[in-house]
């Protein structure tokens, strides 16, 4: 299968307003294949969000190259969409107009885009909230709407930055299952950022582990388990332990560097 994303020698240095430089990423090399479900894990500050924003084209690399679908990336492209770590719905738009926004920007006529957005809302079980405003929705529903908005433009690549981070365990399990069935049915590429090793092993075909100061890749695992996955399965436990050990050693390394 072809690589859908190719990253070579990527680094990103932020210069703050006080002219201090922060190296958010150092020498990242990463190829992602079409239809992979890649999970990025790493402690806070390891550059996960930065990597995602670079891949989406929201910011430009300091050095290195990013190719998406064999083309050098110059900015956001229609084939990719993103779900943000922070709350990102437009508070003055109701849910259907939030979800249909991408289509609105593509000049899709109103009834057509409502039809498409409506179907997605149904699939996400929030069809009763068509005309509600974001502040009237629970956290889980807001996040579902944000995912629905990204999916509505029918992207081949979906970047998700800790989309379930703020949800309770129960809602999170439900959303994880929903996401897996979406991915299995629709054959898209997903790059999913999470803090949780367990979530990464539960979701991904592949888990990339990152470490901080500077942000870099410290591990790349293929998770060879069939879906739906069982958290109590022995092999699941093996993957989980292996990753946990790696992440913890990364932490120790970091604390010794102080």
What minimum distance in Å lies between the beta carbon of 185 and other proteins? 23
Q: Which 6-25 residues touch ligand ATP, going by CB under 6 A?
A: 14, 16, 22, 24
How far is it, in rounded angstroms, from Cα 80 to Cα 56?
7
Local structure of residue 128 (DSSP, 8 states)? G
What minimum distance in Å lies between the beta carbon of 195 and ligand ATP? 6
Distances (CA, A) of 52 to 47, 56, 74: 9, 6, 14
Stretch of 19-27, 83-91, 209-217, 235-243 lying at the interface with Mg ion (CB under 5 A)? 83-91
Q: How many CB atoms lie within 10 A of CB 119?
A: 13
The token pair at 24 is 């958010």
Could you say whether residue 110 binds other proteins (CB under 8 A)?
no
Among 18, 19, 135, 187, binds other proteins (CB under 8 A): 135
CB distance 40 to 48 below 8 Å = yes
CB distance 240 to 39 below 8 Å = no
Residues that bind ligand ATP (CB under 6 A): 14, 16, 22, 24, 42, 44-50, 85, 195, 215
Q: Which residues of this protein are in contact with other proteins, per CB under 8 A?
A: 53, 56, 58, 75-76, 78, 80-82, 84, 86-88, 90-92, 101-102, 105-106, 133-135, 149-150, 153
């Amino acid at each position: 299968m072809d690589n859908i994303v190719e990253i070579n020698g990527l680094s990103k240095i932020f210069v703050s307003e006080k002219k201090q430089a922060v190296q958010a990423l150092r020498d990242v090399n990463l190829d992602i294949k079409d239809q992979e479900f890649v999970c990025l894990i790493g402690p806070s500050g390891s550059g996960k969000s930065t990597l995602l924003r670079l891949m989406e084209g929201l910011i430009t690399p300091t050095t290195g190259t990013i190719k998406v679908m064999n083309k050098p990336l110059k900015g956001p492209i229609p084939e990719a969409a993103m779900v943000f770590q922070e709350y990102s719905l437009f508070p003055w738009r109701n849910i259907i107009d939030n979800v249909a926004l991408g289509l609105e920007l593509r000049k899709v006529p109103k009834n057509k885009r409502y039809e498409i957005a409506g179907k997605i809302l149904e699939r996400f079980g929030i069809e009763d909230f068509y005309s509600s405003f974001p502040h009237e929705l629970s956290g889980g529903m807001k996040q579902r709407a944000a995912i629905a908005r990204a999916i509505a433009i029918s992207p081949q690549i979906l970047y998700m930055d800790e989309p379930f981070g703020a949800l309770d365990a129960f809602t999170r399990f439900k959303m994880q299952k929903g996401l897996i069935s979406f991915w299995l049915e629709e054959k898209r590429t997903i790059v999913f950022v999470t803090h949780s090793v367990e979530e990464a092993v539960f979701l991904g075909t592949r888990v990339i582990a990152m470490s901080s100061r500077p942000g870099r890749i410290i591990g790349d695992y293929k998770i060879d388990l069939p879906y739906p996955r069982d958290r109590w399965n022995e092999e699941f436990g093996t993957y989980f332990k292996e990753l946990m050990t790696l992440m913890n050693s990364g932490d120790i390394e970091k604390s010794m560097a102080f």
